[in-house]
Structure 1
């Protein structure tokens, strides 16, 4: 049965009748752009299987999985969720709802941009494509705005690039109060409480990566629906409201160097990468930098225009063409669509201080986490020690 609000699909009928029509309408050619050097992928549902095979400028869909390089077994509900952009490859892997019968489960993840193209015709990201604003003019992807700049111009840039960087939006005294709150939340965090993330460094020491209940602190609570942030968001996406998201609506992120275990250094991803795009987006996330954020201390990088395209998995240290980096100072803010590809690579410096930032978000009033969970990230919490495992390790177990 399909999730509420989505059409119920027959596995064999979809592949025999519906998908060939979508391929012929141009979806196959779009998908082929994401499949260079990719092997074939098969889905097996209830004893039936269909294989997607790259074929030059298109994709062939054939019954069976005998010749498929990678075979993914899943139930009909999970497969329908993929078609409807309600489920995602990483989300299904973390939730242990798929089994890799043959090949490599990460191949399933790497196929995801092509699946989005096959099923819905979403264009594949191309770094050579001109980057334009909503008026058709060339966009300066590295533009930095300042407090006092025209809010409509900020909103236009956010819609076009998928992110926005604003210098000095919060004053020094405000930042100091937020930073004291962040340190208080750090001291109160408990491993395994499901509202904090933990990791281990190369020395085997456990380190705190984030606290998702930061609204419990009075100073940090003021960031939830904060007027300066909300004004920009409402100009870009009228109707979005402060969202609780993971935890209670405000999260504090603590970067650490040399993390060897756990998900501290986030790979290039979308915030709906665990699933739920169809029922939660658009989402806008605001990050207030409480300490400097740069390659040495732990930055946040963005891929301009990627919120309107299908993009593939890349590790945190990858440097894709056009990636944009900002040298953030305390009081600066970045806003980004949940759909834009962004990454949090490891700090380069061995000595701190490293980045501390406070994060809050905005979503549609009717947005909901998929799967009935409290948050789209709930599926990540699978260990009693609070450590969030890297996707590649999760994929290794999907057998």
Structure 2
């Protein structure tokens, strides 16, 4: 079932009529180099029918059948439509078990996703090497620039619009930060592995460690963050009207993240990703995640790195420590500071550099999504599919994909 406002698509008609039109309008050129690099990909419907996308001499070719495809994926017509409409993603389908890799590697579908977004919707692929961050007057702008609430709002809005993120200093005072710290520790004490409202992992010593809770708004110190005028004033810097995202499924309106050192299991250290990477882009985006920092944010306590300008295009996910990963920009913050970033901005959370500290990064997150967006047909949040294990751990995407590939 598609949300209101999204057209039902006929698989055969789309590939014989609509997709050629989109490719001819420029979408094919956007994806051509990526298609050449990745090789042919095919989609086979469980209800019958298959088509292959491949790079030709003059553009993307759409060919009936899947005999020539290096990688073949089977999914339902409903799931395929959701991919076209940017309601579902390759990682979301893999975690949910809604796509089957018949030939090739399941992870290759994830790498194909930026090309698919270009083919279907004309979203360009982002190249960090060609992006230049400039101020309102065209002068080079430091991507690590931080602001205060007293700074020029036009400058702040321009930075957010261009870079896709923003750091604002000294938003909360010491008393407020102390209340955040107490609330974060109370939420930590209440979390239980497998409660489907918290993420867990194991460190090198074999200890179960809490990575995040999705129940922040149940704590009095956090429950009104989404309507704090200092924060809503920052959200208003967006060019799009946004509203606080309501609690859905295991997400109760806010998240607290707890960084930990020496993690060997679970999803504590995040690869380069986008926040709509599990689905819901066309419903929620532009989406802003606002982080209030309870403890310092730096390389020692657990970084948050951003890829400036990336929210304006598509990038494949990649581990932050991969030799092929972009460096990005490390944000720096102290308790009481906040950051905002668009959900489409590629960002990563590598492990803390030090393992001998008493406290690591703790941050409280609130999401603001597009006002007036149609309701999702899902019963829960898109991230609910991540919490299927009894130990509360989130399995790495590469492991999920490997299990989904043909033996």
TM-score, normalising length from structure 2? Answer: 0.92
Residue 51 of structure 1 corresponds to 52
Residue 160 of structure 1 corresponds to 162
2:352 equivalent to 1:347? yes
Residue 366 of structure 2 corresponds to 360
Deviations 1:102-133 (A, max 9, x none): 11111000000000000111111012334355
Question: Quick check: 2:30–2:119 contact (8 Å CA) kept in 1?
Answer: yes
Residue 373 of structure 1 corresponds to 379
> Aligned equivalents of 1:369 and 1:343: distance in 2?
28
Question: CA offset at residue 28 of structure 1?
Answer: 1.2
Question: Quick check: 2:135–2:141 contact (8 Å CA) kept in 1?
Answer: no
Partner of residue 213 from structure 1, selected from 205, 212, 215 = 215
* Correspondence list, 1:1-399, <5 A: 2-35=2-35, 37-45=37-45, 46-55=47-56, 58-132=59-133, 135=136, 137=138, 138-237=140-239, 239-245=241-247, 247-318=251-322, 320-321=325-326, 323-352=328-357, 353-367=359-373, 370-399=376-405
With over 3 angstroms needed to count, the CA separation of the structure-2 counterparts of 1:333 and 1:295, relative to structure 1, is same
> Aligned equivalents of 1:219 and 1:139: distance in 2?
35
With over 3 angstroms needed to count, the CA separation of the structure-2 counterparts of 1:363 and 1:385, relative to structure 1, is same
> Aligned equivalents of 1:238 and 1:16: distance in 2?
35
> Aligned equivalents of 1:322 and 1:354: distance in 2?
22
Question: CA offset at residue 250 of structure 1?
Answer: 2.2
**Count, aligned residues:** 399
Question: CA offset at residue 370 of structure 1?
Answer: 3.5
> Aligned equivalents of 2:268 and 2:347: distance in 1?
14
After alignment, is 252-261 or 123-132 more displaced? Answer: 123-132
TM-score, normalising length from structure 1? Answer: 0.94
For the residue of structure 2 that corresponds to 1:231, the secondary structure is: helix
For the residue of structure 2 that corresponds to 1:37, the secondary structure is: helix
For the residue of structure 2 that corresponds to 1:62, the secondary structure is: strand
Question: CA offset at residue 359 of structure 1?
Answer: 0.8
After alignment, is 57-66 or 288-297 more displaced? Answer: 57-66
For the residue of structure 2 that corresponds to 1:360, the secondary structure is: strand
With over 3 angstroms needed to count, the CA separation of the structure-2 counterparts of 1:127 and 1:168, relative to structure 1, is same
For the residue of structure 2 that corresponds to 1:285, the secondary structure is: strand
